[in-house]
């Protein structure tokens, strides 16, 4: 039973069918001949469908994934100081290694006072993950929007773990990843309120990204977003979390598809192996750092003791997670002493 959707989610059949259709449209969308124009029309149709499915009124730049989208935004935004929360994904740290890290509360939410002081820098760009990939903690979007915009700054929201499941935040730039929601690997998007927020680089995507567009993946991305419904309801996911409350990381505002569970004795690595033997795929935090024996950087930033952090695993649900999967995992978790 696959419960590691925050790392990657299985490809939806709708996305697979759309990609097969896209492979038949083989030309470069930038070519001026009839075949190229056909590919361009299919690409723009996919772009419009992504915008409609996400309810986004601005612009969409297709990228090779969330990491590239973050690199474009953090590297080329027309802004001054780069500010990031202390619990951001490793891709943010790689894209902006010199960015100032802002502390968070034990809930994983940015400290409002720290944020208010930090944005006093000239024309800041604040990058914050909408739903944390390790804990499911949700940021206070109203506070972010008011604080950042009142200071004349830009807000970059990493919605890799929330797009397609939770309404997009009213940010200036939003990062989306297809493979987290049942789309193909190798495609993502940078959503922009306006192209004028970025320095152009030349090349494709209106001159804001180099590299030929991946048409089949863009079509699969759109189809995955449009597929919509999950096999579980919000009520069933809430009941699942309630049944694991004794082990669940106490977070006031948490998305219902990512749970951080702490075992009383066993290490995360032992738990991952034990649960795998029992037929459950889970992870020890972010897939980018789950092989490390060090305590999670995210959990440490939230003030969790090293011992507890090393006994915490991540369980993440997705489009094909069933109520039976939830019941089976809960029984397995409670059976482990």
Q: Note the pLDDT tens digit of each residue in 227-263.
A: 988 999 999 999 999 999 999 998 989 999 999 999 9
Q: Indicate the pLDDT class of residue 295, thresholds 50, 70 and 90.
A: confident
Tokens (6 digits) for 244: 């694991």
3-state secondary structure 109-129: CECHHHHHHHCCCCCCEEEEE
pLDDT digits (tens, 9 = 90+) for 155-170: 999 999 999 999 999 9
Counts of helices then strands in the chain (DSSP H, E):
12, 9
Distance, in Å, from the CA atom of 292 to the CA atom of 144, rounded to the nearest integer, reads 32
State the average pLDDT over residues 29-35: 93
Q: Which of 172, 168, 107, 175 is nearest to 138 (CA)?
A: 107
Report if pTM > 0.85.
yes
Q: Indicate the pLDDT class of residue 296, thresholds 50, 70 and 90.
A: confident
Residue with tokens 């001159």: 207
Tell the burial category of 126 from Cβ atoms under 10 Å away from its Cβ (0-12, 13-18, 19+): buried
Q: Which residues are catalytic?
A: 288
Distance, in Å, from the CA atom of 168 to the CA atom of 210, rounded to the nearest integer, reads 26
Chain centroid, CA 85 distance in Å: 15
Tokens (6 digits) for 290: 């789950």
Q: Indicate the pLDDT class of residue 203, thresholds 50, 70 and 90.
A: confident
């Amino acid at each position: 039973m696959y419960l590691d959707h925050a790392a990657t989610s299985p490809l939806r059949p709708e996305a697979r069918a759309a990609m097969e259709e896209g492979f038949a449209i083989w030309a470069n969308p930038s070519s001026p001949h009839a075949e190229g124009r056909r590919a361009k029309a299919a690409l723009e149709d996919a772009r419009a469908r992504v915008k409609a499915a996400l309810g986004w009124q601005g612009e969409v730049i297709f990228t090779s994934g969330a990491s590239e989208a973050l690199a474009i935004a953090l590297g080329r935004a027309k802004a001054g100081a780069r500010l990031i929360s202390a619990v951001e994904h490793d891709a943010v740290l790689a894209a902006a290694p010199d960015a100032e890290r802002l502390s968070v509360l034990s809930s994983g939410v940015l400290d409002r006072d720290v944020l208010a002081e930090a944005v006093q820098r000239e024309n800041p760009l604040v990058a914050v993950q909408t739903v944390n990939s390790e804990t499911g903690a949700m940021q206070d979007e109203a506070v972010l929007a008011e604080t950042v915009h009142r200071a004349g700054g830009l807000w970059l929201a990493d919605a890799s773990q929330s797009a397609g499941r939770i309404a997009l935040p009213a940010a200036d730039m939003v990062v989306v990843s297809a493979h987290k929601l049942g789309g193909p690997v190798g495609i993502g998007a940078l959503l922009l309120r306006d192209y004028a927020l970025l320095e152009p680089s030349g090349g494709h995507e209106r001159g804001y990204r180099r590299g030929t567009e991946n048409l089949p993946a863009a079509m699969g991305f759109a189809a995955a977003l449009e597929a919509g419904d999950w096999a579980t309801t919000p009520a069933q996911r809430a009941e699942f979390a309630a049944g694991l409350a004794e082990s669940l990381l106490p977070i006031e505002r948490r998305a219902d598809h990512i749970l951080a569970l702490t075992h009383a004795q066993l290490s995360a690595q032992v738990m991952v192996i034990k649960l795998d033997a029992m037929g459950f795929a889970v992870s020890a935090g972010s897939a980018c750092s789950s092989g490390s024996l060090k305590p999670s950087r995210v959990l440490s930033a939230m003030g969790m003791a090293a011992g507890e952090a090393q006994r915490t695993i991540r369980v993440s649900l997705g489009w094909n997670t069933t109520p039976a999967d939830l019941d089976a995992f809960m029984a397995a978790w409670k059976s482990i002493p």
